[in-house]
Amino acid sequence: GESVGLHLPTLSVQEGDNSIINCAYSNSASDYFIWYKQESGKGPQFIIDIRSNMDKRQGQRVTVLLNKTVKHLSLQIAATQPGDSAVYFCAENMHSGYSTLTFGKGTMLLVSP
Amino acid sequence: DSGVTQTPKHLITATGQRVTLRCSPRSGDLSVYWYQQSLDQGLQFLIQYYNGEERAKGNILERFSAQQFPDLHSELNLSSLELGDSALYFCASSLGASSYEQYFGPGTRLTVT
């Protein structure tokens, strides 16, 4: 597959562990945040989103936490599986009224069986 | 499969040349977005079209242009290509003009030699 970055932060976990991926976002006025997963050779895939009026949102095996005080976003993946291995990007909407997204640099998650 | 299609999958061309990348959005989606993903810059928003009209512009060079046709497919034209234009180019689509949830295509890998 194709690499999306040679110098990405990497998180290595064992299968079954919980994973936490962190992201510092740029704009305190951003009102919407998304986590995307990108597997090698594929386009980014939507995982979960959260609006700025929320602190936490849960999906299937994933939870996103938003701390607006320190402009921090995290993605928690429960019971991580080898299929979760990918690069994870956070994205923020910095321009209210527009749907354009600004992406972070990404974190590579490696899950060992 | 996101439902967004992009052609070609790979493109190799020489400096100074011009290429056209094509994208078909998901059925029913009216917005198309173009992104560039390079190793050093990450995933960067280039431009958005909504129902045939330019909606938002990001870090798109003047050598690049795009359009969205009446059947809603979009083309990204890259001209006077430079080595630094080598990257993955993704198209994404969403339902409306300000819909945050964007679905990405598989990308076109452009190599400029």
Q: What is the mean pLDDT of each run of 10 residues along chain B (113 residues)?
A: 94 98 97 92 91 93 97 98 96 87 95 97
Cβ of A97 within 8 Å of Cβ of B43? The answer is no
The pLDDT value recorded for residue A98 is 75
- A45 contacts in B (CB within 8 Å)? 2, 104
| A17 has a pLDDT exceeding 70 | yes
Which residues, in sequence order, are CB contacts of B71 under 8 Å at separation 6+? none
Dist. CA A5–CA A75, nearest whole Å? 20
Dist. CA A19–CA A81, nearest whole Å? 10
What one-character DSSP code corresponds to residue A83? G
Residues of B near A (CB-CB distance < 8 A)? 2, 4, 31, 33, 37, 39, 42-45, 48, 55-56, 58, 88, 90, 92, 94, 96-107, 109
The pLDDT value recorded for residue A101 is 87
**Three-class SS state of A15:** coil
Average pLDDT, chain A: 90
Q: Are the C-beta atoms of A64 and A75 separated by less than 8 Å?
A: yes
Cβ of B39 within 8 Å of Cβ of A93? The answer is no
- The alpha carbon dihedral of A61, A67, A68, A73 has a sign of negative
Write the CA distances from A34 to A52, A94, B23, B41, integer angstroms.
11, 12, 23, 19
- B44 contacts in A (CB within 8 Å)? 103
Confidence of residue A3 (pLDDT cuts 50, 70, 90): very low
* Order of strands, sheet of A62-67, starting from the edge strand that comes earlier in the sequence: A19-24, A72-77, A62-67, A56-58
| A4 has a pLDDT exceeding 50 | no
Cβ of A43 within 8 Å of Cβ of B55? The answer is no
| A75 has a pLDDT exceeding 90 | yes
